Amino acid sequence: MDKIIVRGGKALSGNVKVSGAKNAVLPIIAASILAEEGTCVISDVPALDDVRTICDLLKSMGISLTYDHEVLTVNAAKLTSVEASYELVRKMRASFLVMGPLLARQGRARVALPGGCAIGTRPIDQHLKGFEAMGAKIEIGQGYIEASVEGRLKGAKIYLDIASVGATENIMMAAALAEGTTVIENAAEEPEIVDLANFLNRMGAKIRGAGTGSIRIEGVDKMTGCTHCVIPDRIEAGTFMVAAAITGGDVFVEGAICDHLKSVTAKLREMGVEVDEQENGIRVRRTGALKAVDLKTLPYPGFPTDMQSQMMALLLVSEGTSIVTETVFENRFMHVEEFRRMNANIKIEGRSAIVEGGSKLTGSKVAATDLRAGAALVLAGLVSDGETEVSALHHIDRGYVNFTEKLLALGADVERVTPESKTREVSVSESMKVSFSPNFA
């Protein structure tokens, strides 16, 4: 099993380019199932394990795909199966996003129950409530959810009890090909929802209001292939912003969209970090001490839960006590135990973590507990005494393209080690080449 070895003490500097957003591209690839004709050509598709998983899933349904230099083509004219197997859904919960498109196009879908994961139980009741409101019959058995509808789905007014990102996306995709108009109230407002709506509209859908709490979808009879470029990953961008801040560095995060990162920028500024918002990216510098701040995760435009663990790493080296409250997922503090191995002083009280700043972090053996926790441990390693060894990298590979290489290019003392070959020497230019070649043949 690969490990990342980090030796602390280097201030990061230079330019890092943000890849396409994982959380935008996954629903977009699922949405391409809706195109009965033509090819979807999607660019800035990051070479991530999660992308490979959803591509494998579409391939298992008879859909043809190609991937070359971050351009993915999907031709879903031929669709031979409406099933998403346990093996693929288990690897990645976002696989459940194929349910809406399959149901809308084929009138039937059979998808393995996604179950919980390290960060919480993550139910899908809001997705199912939406499909039922559109006339689908839902049956659950033998670990699978079967949804079916006589004829077409019918437009409906759906109020989400929770502004769920996945439910908003799944229902929006289903409604795009339904008969009549669907209105989703208390919809999630994340930028990835806007990107998905833009993609669907290019395919022929009629969606208005994405990015607000009320989305109106007029169903159409047919959708076709289109071209689309995925938005930059705001969480990857935020992770590098924290990397700059934690090391007292000076980094330009190229491609980051300032508007998508307002809550992160505001917190960094509150802590005494200089954040310069530019047209094509964000420059982050830190020279002085870091101030403790409190933060609470919330749905967009609130502070993202996917940045909680990285910010916690930063708060560990600030002056004073901070309170981090996690309101989105009920169990997203697994990284606290790992931080403690690095001499962190953190107490958990219910949904809050009391983070004592100013501890001298020490390098240690730690394991990623989810993908953002993995990144956060590497960030903590950048300022720890001695060597930090991060394992369980399959989490990091789900959501960060060339994470080690990007840090290396900014001057970090970091390497990825494969036990069989001891050290895998990676030249940055080589590693930046396309390293993803899924078996699309």
Ligand X SMILES: CC(=O)N[C@H]1[C@@H](OP(=O)(O)OP(=O)(O)OC[C@H]2O[C@@H](n3ccc(=O)[nH]c3=O)[C@H](O)[C@@H]2O)O[C@H](CO)[C@@H](O)[C@@H]1O
Cβ neighbours around 293 below 10 Å, total: 22
23 is a site residue for ligand X (CB under 6 A): yes
Residue 328 counted as an annotated binding residue = yes
Residue 123 interacts, among ligand PEP, ligand X, none and using kind-specific CB cut-offs from 5 to 8 Å, with: ligand X
Residue 93 or 108: the one with the smaller Cβ distance to ligand PEP is: 93
Residue 232 counted as an annotated binding residue = no
Residue 39 or 308: the one with the smaller Cβ distance to ligand PEP is: 308
Please report how close the Cβ of residue 126 comes to ligand X at its closest, in angstroms.
3
Residue 256 interacts, among ligand X, ligand PEP, none and using kind-specific CB cut-offs from 5 to 8 Å, with: none
Residue of 438, 383, 430, 368 whose CA lies nearest to 405: 430
Name the catalytic one among 117, 226, 229, 258: 117
372 is a site residue for ligand PEP (CB under 6 A): yes
Helix H, strand E, coil C: the string for the chain is CCEEEEECCCCCEEEEECCECHHHHHHHHHHHHHCCECCEEEECCCCCHHHHHHHHHHHCCCCEEEEECCEEEEECCCCCCCEECHHHHHHCHHHHHHHHHHHHHHCEEEEECCCCECCECCCCHHHHHHHHHCCCEEEEECCEEEEECCCCCECCEEECCCCCHHHHHHHHHHHHCCECEEEEECCCCCHHHHHHHHHHHHCCCEEECECECEEEEECCCCCECCEEECCECHHHHHHHHHHHHHHCCEEEEECCCHHHHHHHHHHHHHCCCEEEEECCEEEEECCCCCECCCEEECCCCCECHHHHHHHHHHHHCCECEEEEECCCCCCCCHHHHHHHHCCCEEEEECCEEEEECCCCCECCEEECCCHHHHHHHHHHHCCCECEEEEECCHHHHHHCCCHHHHHHHCCCEEEEECCCCCCCCCCHHHHCCCCCCCCCC
Residue 161 counted as an annotated binding residue = no
Q: Is the bond preceding 438 in cis, omega lying within 30 degrees of 0?
A: no
396 is a site residue for ligand X (CB under 6 A): no
Please report how close the Cβ of residue 221 comes to ligand X at its closest, in angstroms.
28
Find out whether 438 and 67 touch, Cβ atoms under 8 Å.
Answer: yes
Residue nearest to ligand X (CB): 166
Ranges within 299-358 binding ligand X (CB under 6 A)? 305-306, 328-329
Please report how close the Cβ of residue 93 comes to ligand PEP at its closest, in angstroms.
5
Residue 372 interacts, among ligand X, ligand PEP, none and using kind-specific CB cut-offs from 5 to 8 Å, with: ligand PEP
Ranges within 283-342 binding ligand PEP (CB under 6 A)? 306
Please report how close the Cβ of residue 374 comes to ligand PEP at its closest, in angstroms.
10
Ranges within 175-214 binding ligand X (CB under 6 A)? 188
Find out whether 282 and 275 touch, Cβ atoms under 8 Å.
Answer: yes
117 is catalytic: yes
Segment interacting with ligand X (CB under 6 A) among 160-168, 236-244, 246-254, 402-410: 160-168
Residue 46 interacts, among ligand PEP, ligand X, none and using kind-specific CB cut-offs from 5 to 8 Å, with: none
- Tokens 């441990």 locate to 377
Residue 123 counted as an annotated binding residue = yes
90 is a site residue for ligand X (CB under 6 A): no
Please report how close the Cβ of residue 372 comes to ligand X at its closest, in angstroms.
8
93 is a site residue for ligand PEP (CB under 6 A): yes
Residue 154 counted as an annotated binding residue = no
Residue 276 counted as an annotated binding residue = no
94 is a site residue for ligand X (CB under 6 A): yes
215 is a site residue for ligand X (CB under 6 A): no
Residue 93 counted as an annotated binding residue = yes
Query: Looking at 225, 238, 281, 399, which residue binds ligand PEP (CB under 6 A)?
Result: 399
- Binding site members: 22-23, 93, 122-126, 306, 328
- Binding site members for UDP-N-acetyl-alpha-D-glucosamine: 93, 122-126, 306, 328
Residues classed as catalytic: 117
Judged by the rule CB under 6 A, the positions of this chain that interact with ligand PEP are 23, 93-94, 119, 306, 371-372, 399
- Binding site members for phosphoenolpyruvate: 22-23
